[in-house]
A = this chain, B = another copy of it.
Amino acid sequence: MTARREFLAGMVAASASPLGPWLRFTRQSQLRVNGARVNGHLAGLSDFGKGPGGTSRVAYSEADLAGRRYAMDLMRSAGLTPRIDPIGNILARLEGREPALPPILIGSHIDSVTNGGNYDGDVGSMGAIEVAQTLRESGTRLRHPLEVVIFQNEEGGTVGSRMMVEAPTEELLNTTARSGITIRDGIPRIGGDLTRLDAARRKQGDYLCYFELHIEQGGILDKEGIKIGVVEGIVGIRWFEVTFTGFANHAGTTPMDQRRDAMLAAAKFTVAVNEAIRAVPGRQVGTVGRLVAVPGTVNVIPGEVTLTVDLRDLAAETLTTFPPKFEEMGRRIAGETNTAFAMRLLSTNEPAPTDVRLRGLIEQSARGLGLSTRTMPSGAGHDAQEIARIAPIAMIFVPSVGGVSHSPNELTRPEDVTNGANVLLHSVLLADRE
């Protein structure tokens, strides 16, 4: 207690002296988050939604409500005053020395997939609270206000962050989350207010910038032994549904040359998509994740097969050049197999590049902390991609063991959580100073 009071007194003295800025810089560069505490908070949060198959803190569920209460309690313990905006996002503000300046936004989400893990979203959320608490406890006052955000329902399609930048469609509000509750019913349930959604909307200039700390969800950092990923951008996504229609017929009585086998067509298409994606240099990925054959019994040639294609790349060009290739391949295969081909766009996400200057701040922070870095795209979607529409964004990735994600086996080592929070802290400090 006494030591702490002396420390605080020293800080006040320093900021008043002409050496203030220099002393502040030196002191700030030595500032560190409390690693034990942030990892403890992660462990505490993991209690909500814990089940035999993993953590299911799905949006609007009882576990989500309990997790949100826990996070707000942590904010209060950190000396912040949390509020719930009309969308249902949790926000807590740390005032700056120049309250008129736009705030720096940091945060993530704490809702999970069904049978997920305890790091996706949680690391960035607990990390952001920890950064605010570290700043407050150390008496470090930023010029800009700092806002910590926990976006609602990220796993349902970056819902909370999206609604912060655009009005929701009726279709979105009627969408059912994994909890079985619609977004429309979920919002009041978590403390939002459907009649005041506009008041929560943010526009260009409202925030100085947004930093999101997150686990990588891929295995690159873990495999290469690199500590910090500096995200170049969040990939754009195209989802397609492809249907081959043939004719369901008896597997025993229909000669091979008289078949209209939708399964064979779908299999050829799946192989062709993989070959097409790999034939071109680049980091684009293409996946057939779902395939449903009708009628789907051992002794009937499938008459209809529906499959999905997930196409992603940071380069917008990829998202426009591949779909016509898929269409051409589908038509050719339909011709070969005497089936009909149809392809429709299910969903679209444009690539969200991160801000070059902010990336530089992350690299500088990591360097100052002695942590290795590499730039990389984010193949997964994040709340940051929505906020990119109104503010410069950047993302800090920490390694996920084996690249496992959306799984109870998701694991980020405590030291990597601490490293990530420290990089977030210093990136905020540098951004504040610019």
List residues of A whose CB falls within 8 A of some B CB: 216-220, 235, 237, 239, 248-256, 258, 261, 263-264, 266-268, 270-271, 274, 277-278, 283, 285-293, 296-302, 308, 310, 312, 346, 378-381, 403-407
A201 to chain B, nearest CB (A): 28
- Tell me the bound Cα distance from A255 to B314 in angstroms: 13
Contacting pair A217 B253 (CB below 8 A): yes
Contacting pair A310 B298 (CB below 8 A): yes
A135 to chain B, nearest CB (A): 31
Ranked 6 nearest A-B pairs via Cβ: A218-B253, A252-B379, A267-B270, A253-B379, A251-B287, A267-B267
Contacting pair B271 A239 (CB below 8 A): no
- Tell me the bound Cα distance from A255 to B218 in angstroms: 8
A412 to chain B, nearest CB (A): 14
Closest chain B residue to A220 by CB distance?
B255
CB-CB under 8 A from A293, the residues of chain B are: 289-291
- Given known contacts A266-B267, A289-B302, A301-B287, A252 and B380 CB-to-CB distance under 8 angstroms: yes
- Tell me the bound Cα distance from A418 to B301 in angstroms: 30
The listed residue with most B CB atoms (<10 A of its CB), out of A220, A266, A285, A346, is: A285
Q: How often does this chain occur in the complex, in copies? A: 2
Interchain CB contact (< 8 A) of A380 among B250, B256, B308, B346:
B250
Contacting pair B256 A406 (CB below 8 A): no
The listed residue with most B CB atoms (<10 A of its CB), out of A258, A263, A403, is: A263
Q: Can you list 5 residue pairs at the A/B interface with Cβ under 8 Å?
A: A217-B253, A218-B250, A256-B274, A256-B286, A261-B287
Interchain CB contact (< 8 A) of A289 among B271, B283, B289, B298:
B298
- Tell me the bound Cα distance from A258 to B298 in angstroms: 32
Closest chain B residue to A337 by CB distance?
B274
CB-CB under 8 A from A255, the residues of chain B are: 218, 220, 283, 285
- Given known contacts A289-B296, A289-B297, A299-B287, A254 and B379 CB-to-CB distance under 8 angstroms: yes
- Tell me the bound Cα distance from A403 to B266 in angstroms: 24
Contacting pair B289 A301 (CB below 8 A): yes
Contacting pair A264 B274 (CB below 8 A): yes
